[in-house]
Each structure stands twice: as C-alpha cells, then as structure tokens.
Amino acid sequence: MLRVEIDIPHPVETLFLLFATGGVLLWMTWDVPQSRKTQASIAPAHAASTTDTEIGGDGGLAHRSPDEGGPDRQARMLALRSAEDDARRIRTEQAVLERSEEILRYELKILEDEAVRSGDDAAVRRAKEKLLSLLADERAAEEQFRQTLREMWEAEGLSATAVVGSPGIVHVLWPVEPDEGLSATFHDPAYEQRFGIPHNAIDIPVPQGSAIRSAADGVVDTIVDNGLGYSYIIVKHEGFATLYGHASNFFVAEGDRVRQGDVLAASGGMPGTPGAGTLTTGPHLHFEVIVGGERVDPLTVLPARQGLRPVQQ
C-alpha cells in the first residue's frame, strides 16, 4: 500500500489559519441569503410608508449600493480583513522564526564590529552575552522574536490611528543626518530576505545615543518604552504622522507640542540594548512617515541628499 507522509511546519498555527479563514468565508456565504430573506419579509410591511424613490419597478425595494444600510456587510468586511491580518502575521512570524539563528548570528557580528570600534565596552559585552544565551536556548529566542513582532505590530496600529486632518503637503526634515547612507530602504528586499518581515521605513545608521529630532511641527502622540524590546515615539502632524523607532531614551512627554528640529529622544538599535528589540540592523534610527493610515517611502518627502546610498550589510 502506498503511504504518503506530509510534514507541515508549525501545525498549530497552520490549523488556526485554516479554521479562521474558513469560518469567515462560511459566515459570509451563509449571511448573504439570510439577509435577502430578511429584506424580502420586511418589504411588504414597509411598502406603504416607502417613498416613490425607494420603490423599484417591480414593487419591491430598489437596489441599494453596498455601502448603504450595510452594518452586516461592514461587519463581514472587517472580519475578513481581521482574518487576512491574522494570516499575514502568522506567515510573518513563521518566516522570522525560521531565520532566528541566522538573525542572532548576524547581530553578534554587528556587536563584534562595534567592539572593534569602541574597544572593551561593558554595554557591548552585556549585549553579546544576551545574544549568546538566546542562541543556546531556542525556546527563549523564539519568545523574544514573538515579543518584538507584537511590539512592532502594536506600533503599526498606533501610528495608523495617530493621523489627524486631511493629507496635504508633507514637508519633513531629516530627523538624524544620513552621513553614513541608509542601512535599509523602504520595502527593502534584502532586509525582508534577512529578517523575514517587510520593511515599511528607512533605517538611518547613526552612533548609539545620537539626538533624534522632530521631522516637523506637531504633538507627541505616543511614547512606548519596552525596555530591551522595541521602543519608539510617534508624533502627529497636520494630516500625517511620523514614527521614530529603536529609541534608547526619551526627552519629551506625550502631549508635548514640538517644533521641527526639537530633540525628541536618543537613538539606539545596537542589538541587546534598550529600545533595540530582536530585529535590528545595528545602531540606527528606524524612521516612518504615515499618510492616510498608510506608510509611504520617507525618501519621497525628505529633502534629497546627493550621493545617498544603501550601506552594504
């Protein structure tokens, strides 16, 4: 007898994805005929009070656009979007965990290069010890990567809702000087290949502890200090928002009004140090621009810098 064995990685997450997607699709297909039956049953009761413009040629209710009278439809669309987001996050988590050892060894190399530049630095030694302990404990490493992903997704949600006003002309200045180029560009394929996650920002390498300045006038919306996890600050402006990731220290408070060029925080990003998390390209600023709830390439709104090029990693 022919026997076929199929090896499914992460079976629990895969089954959850299948059940969630199937449940939403079943709900959507079941709910449509039920909604039509309900409309058909209430149509005669409303016919006497319905205006001429609401009555179709066959005496029934006129066709309505999908956006009208659609709380059920909106609920179905939100549920489908939530299922799609869950599916995307499960795929991303799997991709990151598959690369966990490779990522940790890459970050150890960053620390070794930093040790050569800075000498026998205590912070670098502690960071190396932390990464080596994660390499020796796969379960602890996976939990650290999952935690960083949760923190990044939380930042994604908070920054999308920070935007106020209608999008207009987005005018921003560099929050740090890109004297060393960029260590990752917007939607950088090399970054996604290394870390397993899309990069919706630019990474600007600067020395650890450099001053991060507000890219435009605005109000400090959110400050999240996750200790050794991913820490960030969100500033809302007129019609857009900016996010400054891998901050190691903060010099403003939520609700503060800031002017373009004001110092917001100190940069971080060195693996194993405050604000860095477990997905980092080394000491740098992770900079995002959010317009209409969507991230845009910061290079399209920042002043052009001649000779700016990605740093070879």
* CB proximity list for 226: less than 8 A, separation 6 or greater: 151, 275, 277
Average pLDDT over residues 4-33: 50
**Percent residues over pLDDT 90 in the chain:** 58
pTM of the model: 0.74
pLDDT at 28 over 60: no
Angle among Cα 120, 122, 125 to the nearest 5 degrees reads 80
pLDDT at 73 over 80: no
pLDDT at 14 over 60: no
> Lowest-pLDDT range, 70-84, 151-165, 204-218?
70-84
Please state, in angstroms and rounded to a whole number, the distance separating the CA atoms of residues 235 and 202.
Answer: 17
Average pLDDT over residues 272-301: 94
- State the pLDDT at residue 58: 39
pLDDT at 294 over 50: yes
- State the pLDDT at residue 74: 67
- State the pLDDT at residue 170: 86
**What is 99-300's CATH number?**
2.70.70.10
pLDDT at 50 over 50: no
Please state, in angstroms and rounded to a whole number, the distance separating the CA atoms of residues 76 and 28.
Answer: 6
- State the pLDDT at residue 80: 66
Q: 224's torsion region: left (phi>0), alpha (psi -120 to 50) or beta?
A: beta
Contact 103, 194 (CB under 8 A): yes
- State the pLDDT at residue 23: 55
- State the pLDDT at residue 41: 40
Contact 240, 167 (CB under 8 A): yes
Contact 142, 100 (CB under 8 A): yes
Please state, in angstroms and rounded to a whole number, the distance separating the CA atoms of residues 267 and 208.
Answer: 6
Average pLDDT over residues 32-38: 41
pLDDT at 30 over 60: no
Domains of the chain, by residue range, sit at: 99-300
SS3 assignment, position 175:
coil
> Lowest-pLDDT range, 58-72, 95-109, 146-160, 284-298?
58-72
- State the pLDDT at residue 100: 95
pLDDT at 16 over 70: no
> Lowest-pLDDT range, 20-24, 213-217, 307-311?
20-24
Angle among Cα 217, 184, 223 to the nearest 5 degrees reads 40
Please state, in angstroms and rounded to a whole number, the distance separating the CA atoms of residues 189 and 198.
Answer: 8
> Lowest-pLDDT range, 8-12, 99-103, 309-313?
8-12
